[in-house]
Chain A
Amino acid sequence: MEIYLILMLVLMILGSIYSLHAKDLLSAVISYGIVGFALVIAFLLLQAPDLAIVQVVVEIITLIIMIAVIKDSTSEELKSKFNPKFYIYFAVVAIFAILFFYIFDRVTGTLSQFGEHFTRMATAYIEGSQETGSANLVTGVIFDFRAYDTLGEATVLFTAVIGVLTILRIKGKKKEK
């Protein structure tokens, strides 16, 4: 099982590298789709069917919005002369990569190995799953034990929708004569 997961992760890395280096913005968006759909398969391999369904829907909507933006503007990548500042940017990325890797190494040292997780915090949710009456433990946690989180999520979603509508409004205020 783990070998398929490694395969999917390598596919995601290759797709993201190609997506960032593509000459055409449309092909960049399509290879970004590779990353998202490989993530769906990774979720299925990790026994998370709810997440896989949500990720499929989210990925398709994101691709539709991105393609709509590109059709409405231009799909040409900027002409890139070689920029001497590129070395500075690359050094910044390298420094942050080393810093993050140090923290990552310290943190994963305290975690258990892959696949040997021991449920500590979720034990109460699992034991109380009979009270929710839900067959699916994930939806039991979302809509029963942590329902206020879901309420907050809905608030964030509606705020983002209001923001998008405000930004995309064509007509401004009428000027007073």
Chain B
Amino acid sequence: MIVYILCFILFIVGLYGVVTKRNLIKIIIGLAIMEYSVNLFLILIGYVNNGTAPILPVPDALKNKPFVDPLPQAMILTAIVIGLATTALLLSIAIRLYRKYGTFDIRKINSLKG
């Protein structure tokens, strides 16, 4: 149970960074930390005590042996790669904003004029 709570604290730290920081790079780091904590939480749910990785070198190798749930791992594998794509998109938007305004401060980036 303490593992779940620590994972929750990590999520709240990321949320704190997104809400309170003014620097665009710090906001992106906060978003990435939130994403990591959610990924880790779903893997934690699928863990089985003394389980092995879900790999069968020969058929029926894991019969009557505990092994971890393969379904969350397959889902999170997709989510990690999509997280990389969104982070790259956010960083490219940040660098374009820096070229236009000369700062990463989100208070000075406030004109919506084209």
Give A contacts to B, CB under 8 Å: 2, 5-6, 9-10, 12-13, 16-17, 19-20, 25, 28-29, 32, 35-36, 39, 42-43, 46-51, 54-55, 58, 61-62, 65-66, 69-70, 72-74, 77-78, 80, 86, 89-90, 92-93, 96-97, 100-101, 104, 108, 111, 113-117, 119, 121-122, 125-126, 129-130, 135-138, 140-142, 146, 149-150, 153, 156-157, 160-161, 163-164, 167-168
Main secondary structure of the interface of B (DSSP, over half): helix
Q: What 7 A-B pairs come out closest when comparing CB atoms?
A: A160-B85, A115-B49, A137-B54, A137-B70, A141-B74, A122-B71, A9-B6
Q: A92-B19, A96-B15, A167-B93 known; A153 and B82 CB under 8 Å?
A: yes
Residue in A61, A100, A111, A150 whose beta carbon sits within 8 Å of that of B78 in the complex: A150
Interface residue total, chain B, C-beta cutoff 8 A? 77
Give chain B interface residues in 49-81, CB to chain A under 8 Å: 49, 51-57, 59, 67-71, 73-78, 80-81
Q: Do B74 and A114 have beta carbons less than 8 Å apart?
A: no
Main secondary structure of the interface of A (DSSP, over half): helix
Q: Do A28 and B54 have beta carbons less than 8 Å apart?
A: no
With a cutoff of 8 Å between Cβ atoms, the chain B residues found around residue A2 in the complex are 3
Q: Do A93 and B69 have beta carbons less than 8 Å apart?
A: no
A138 to chain B, nearest CB (A): 5
Give chain B interface residues in 1-46, CB to chain A under 8 Å: 1-4, 6-17, 19-23, 25-26, 28-30, 32-33, 36, 39-40, 43-46
A79 to chain B, nearest CB (A): 10
A116 to B94, CA, bound (A): 43
Give B contacts to A, CB under 8 Å: 1-4, 6-17, 19-23, 25-26, 28-30, 32-33, 36, 39-40, 43-49, 51-57, 59, 67-71, 73-78, 80-89, 91-96, 98, 103-105
With a cutoff of 8 Å between Cβ atoms, the chain B residues found around residue A5 in the complex are 3
A143 to B76, CA, bound (A): 14
A170 to B56, CA, bound (A): 50
Nearest-neighbor residue (CB-CB) of A83 within chain B: B22
Residue in B10, B49, B70, B94 whose beta carbon sits within 8 Å of that of A126 in the complex: B70
B38 to chain A, nearest CB (A): 11
With a cutoff of 8 Å between Cβ atoms, the chain A residues found around residue B36 in the complex are 12, 35-36, 39
A-B contact pairs, 18 of them (CB 8 A): A6-B3, A6-B6, A47-B47, A48-B53, A50-B73, A51-B43, A58-B81, A66-B25, A73-B98, A122-B71, A126-B70, A136-B55, A138-B73, A138-B77, A142-B78, A156-B85, A167-B92, A168-B95
A126 to B14, CA, bound (A): 35
